[in-house]
Structure 1
Amino acid sequence: MWNVFSRPAHRTRAGVAVAAVVMAAAGLAVTGVSSAGVVEGRGRDKALQSSLDALVSDGQIPGALMSIRSRDGRVTNYTAGVGDIRTKSPVPSDGYVRIASNTKMYTAVVIMQLVGEGKLALDDTVEKFLPGVVRGTGAGAGIDGRNITIEQLLQHTSGIDNYTLLSGGILPIKDRFFEPRELLDSALAQPPTFPPGTDRVWSYSNPGYVLLGLVAQKVTGRPFAEVVTDRIINRIGLTETYYPGPGERGIREPHPQGYLLLRDASDKLIDGKLIDITRFDPSIAGAAGQLIATPSDVNKFLVALQDGRLVKPALLAKMRKTVEAPGLPAGWRYGLGTIEFKLSCGITAYGHGGDADGFQSRAAITTDGRAVTIAATNDDKFLLDGVLALFDKALCAAK
């Protein structure tokens, strides 16, 4: 759930275990919800549309949507499949989806803005802002906030493992509200994956980003949802991006439904039936993955980040200084809240990805300004390859 990349996970009748990191008819659309001030392109790339149709052709992914922003700012939205398997309604063009761990880019931007304002430094320890908060217990006794820096949290080199609140799956807890402290306590009871920063060792950590949200709250004196809204969403006019409030379990309209497949402990499908998991409490993700947005608005964010409207070029360069990230696909490296993608066509793109129960998404921008965000309405890890192949193809396309 809300992970950048699906690692081994198990889904059972009791629910869906967290991934420790990531269709009856095809519908075509280029109009619909679009970001304010954006001229939407009318010329779909037939090859990309065909690939999107293929992604949903066997019915395991009910629907998919993609937004492409060309280097000159033209926006073209694509859809395929159905938005609801019960009603067979079409996928809404540029509809809202849970963007899951793409949220980490936004959280990282907030932190880097605070760095730019001199309110914190990358080598500051967590202890400086949250004294006594980060102390491991039991098997996690080796975790100590006095030895963990802000940079290590951003880069996933802190050694803090993931929490276990989803070990029974999402279904039993889908309507539960979680405070960040509860998420953190679960992680602090787990043994660290390695001492923080050891030889640049990397291990994906959602709790690390929950901690960054708490740091941002402490430094600014305001709730994280308000901080990310004021500093990013309102600042650059992301009218189709929002941080769900306490108790907000649904998704704003228009949106496709999100689905999951049940698997047993050996990853074998139990019955092959899709379960609608669109509605659940996203507080289990917090600053690590709670945002909801349309694909075109994610692209707007990527453009604003790259052109200097969110952080200064020197800070963006720090975000894009990467380390090896074992477990991610070949050619992917991790920076500070951003992934470097080496594409099949030889060019480089920067962005992130996310997998929340019901939705998987990938988003990136090339260095010359082509932005792509793709979302599929089933986050099953065995369906990831097709999404990644299309993501690469769309970023490499000429128009």
Structure 2
Amino acid sequence: MKKTLLAGMAAASLLTGGAIVPALATTGESTPVQQSLDGLVRDEEFPAALATTGIGDQARSYVAGTAELGGRTPPPLDGRVRAGSNTKAFVSVVVLQLVAEGKVGLDAPIEEHLPGLVRGEGVDGRQITVRQLLQHTSGVPNYTAYLGVGDLGELRDRYLQPRELLDIALAHPASFPPGERWEYSNTNYVLAGLLIERVTGRPVSEQVTDRVIRPIGLRDTYWPGIGDRTVQGPHPRGYAATADGRVVDATEVDPGWAWAAGALISTNGDLNQFYRALLDGKLLPAEQLAQMRTTVPADLADGTEYGLGLSKTPLSCGGEYWGHGGDIFGYETRGGVTDDGRSAGVAVTALPGTFGEDDAEQNLRAVHAAVDTALCEGR
């Protein structure tokens, strides 16, 4: 999405020598979900597409394309990918757990926990609430807009500490007064991560692991350690554009610059399980879950609205699904769950527009359509 973690990053020309469309590898069935994935590879030129769908605890995985450009090995079923901004939903859950424990006030100013830290031109932590951070209505400028996220070479091996990310943001004026409107800003979740660390006295990565990942049994989800540039476990390679128009392997990159806004690695299956557990009330008390699901209009595709680290997207067959989605070097993920227990996650191994800037919007809509197909077929 244009407002996700790497908004507007996926501008690129074709690989030297022309477009490379990988040999089509599929799971061998002509289902609507498989056909959608085949189309993402064949028509949209994503190197690989992966999906996991389910009803309740029953899950099924699909793949198309190749695990690596130039190869013929299919992607691993339900392989691990960088989950990008899905991280925000995990971080928001931890903040709301702290609210339920009486340690954080949802409508209290962030100043109460980070005194004197949130200051800039038009930015004042005494006027910005925790809710506004989680819902992207704070007006705090987005650090990724100034970080050079369109240049893989600039960030592949660069480690940035959270306070550096905040300093980059606060060197710029506020986008608007707090609460005036909605605008996606990754800085909001850097502040949410700092809030968690200040209140608990522990790393946000540990808190997400101990409070969310382990309790619901997510086996393929983890927060990379400092300096870990790899994707551990079975995974397809991810690809991104460089500033000079080349498309390169972007699987290995330091995710420190994404931190609490987008560092997690996961699978479609685990993300489905997380959102299902969340909606089933296994992670939050009813009051905090209701707050998380209270949405405002958002400048996102397909009529999506935004709650507290959780989005609501309408389905073509009626109803809606809840999730988040993520964009980061090499990978895009979309999906979520419905209130009646259907789940679907789709991942592709390049951002929309990587193999042609003019195709970005079409690519993105095709990924959304694949999620819609999977959820509507699962009725």
- Please, what TM-score do these two structures have when normalized by structure 1? 0.86
CA displacement, residues 307-341 of structure 1 (integer Å, 9 cap, x when unaligned): 11100122111111110112x11321011001011
* Structure 1 segment 241-320 matched on structure 2, within 5 A: 241-262=221-242, 270=245, 274-320=247-293
Distance 1:92 1:152, change over 3 A: same
> Which consecutive residues of structure 1, in runs of 5 or more, have no partner in the other structure?
14-22, 31-43, 265-269
Is the partner of 1:374 in helix, strand or coil?
Answer: strand
CA distance in 1, matches of 2:87, 2:58: 24
* 2:343 corresponds to 1:371: yes
Distance in 2 (CA, whole Å) between partners of 1:305 and 1:168 is: 33
Q: Give secondary structure in 2 for the equivalent of 1:380.
A: coil
CA contact (8 A) 2:32 2:374 kept: no
Tell me, in whole angstroms, the C-alpha distance in 2 between the residues paired with 1:3 and 1:169: 18
Alignment of 1:104-253 (within 5 A): 104-136=88-120, 141-163=121-143, 164-166=146-148, 169-198=151-180, 201-253=181-233
In 1: Cα distance, 2:227 partner to 2:206 partner = 16
Are 1:86 and 2:70 an aligned pair?
yes
Amino acid at match of 1:314: E
Shift in alpha-carbon separation, 1:364–1:229, aligned structure 2, 3 A? same
How do 1:64-79 and structure 2 match up within 5 A? 64-71=49-56, 73-79=57-63
Alignment of 1:336-355 (within 5 A): 336-355=308-327
CA deviation map 1:183-209 (0-9, x unaligned):
0000011111101112xx000010100
Partner of 1:46: 31
Q: 1:143-171 CA distances to partner (integer Å, 9 max, x unpaired)?
A: 11111110000000000111112256232
d(CA) in 2 for partners of 1:392 and 1:5? Answer: 22
Task: Report how far residue 398 of structure 1 moved.
Answer: 3.1
**Residues in 2 aligned to 1:24 and 1:118: alpha-carbon distance in whole angstroms:** 53
Q: Residue 339 of structure 1 contacts residue 352 of structure 1 at CA under 8 Å; is this kept in 2?
A: yes
For 1:313 and 1:344, the matched residues in 2 are separated by 28
Contact 1:99 1:293 in 2 (8 A): yes
Moved over 6 A (4+): none
**2: CA distance, partners of 1:46 / 1:254:** 25
C-alpha offsets along residues 12-39 of structure 1, whole Å, 9 cap, x if unaligned?
A: 79xxxxxxxxx32222349xxxxxxxxx
Q: 1:20: which partner in 2?
A: none
Whether contact under 8 Å (1:3, 1:355) holds in the other structure is no
Letter aligned with residue 369 of structure 2: A
Q: Which moved more, 1:206-215 or 1:254-263?
A: 254-263
Q: Distance in 2 between matches of 1:392 and 1:58?
A: 18
Indicate if the aligned counterparts of 1:67 and 1:373 stay in contact, CA closer than 8 A.
yes
Counterpart-to-counterpart distance in 2, 1:2 and 1:297: 25
Percent sequence identity over matched residues?
Answer: 46
Report deviation, 1:306.
Answer: 1.1
The answer for the alignment partner of 2:4 in structure 1 is 4
What CA RMSD, in Å, does the superposition of the two structures yield over aligned residues? 2.0
Match of 1:27 in 2: 25
User: Cα offset for 1:58?
Assistant: 4.2
Partner of 1:249: helix, strand, or coil? coil
Deviation at 1:177, TM superposition (A): 0.8
Which residue identity lines up with residue 66 of structure 1 in the other structure? A
Q: What is the rounded CA distance, in whole Å, between the counterparts of 2:119 and 2:24 in structure 1?
A: 51
What residue number does 1:16 align with?
Answer: none
1:393 to 367, 373, 376: 373
What's the offset of the Cα at 1:357?
1.1
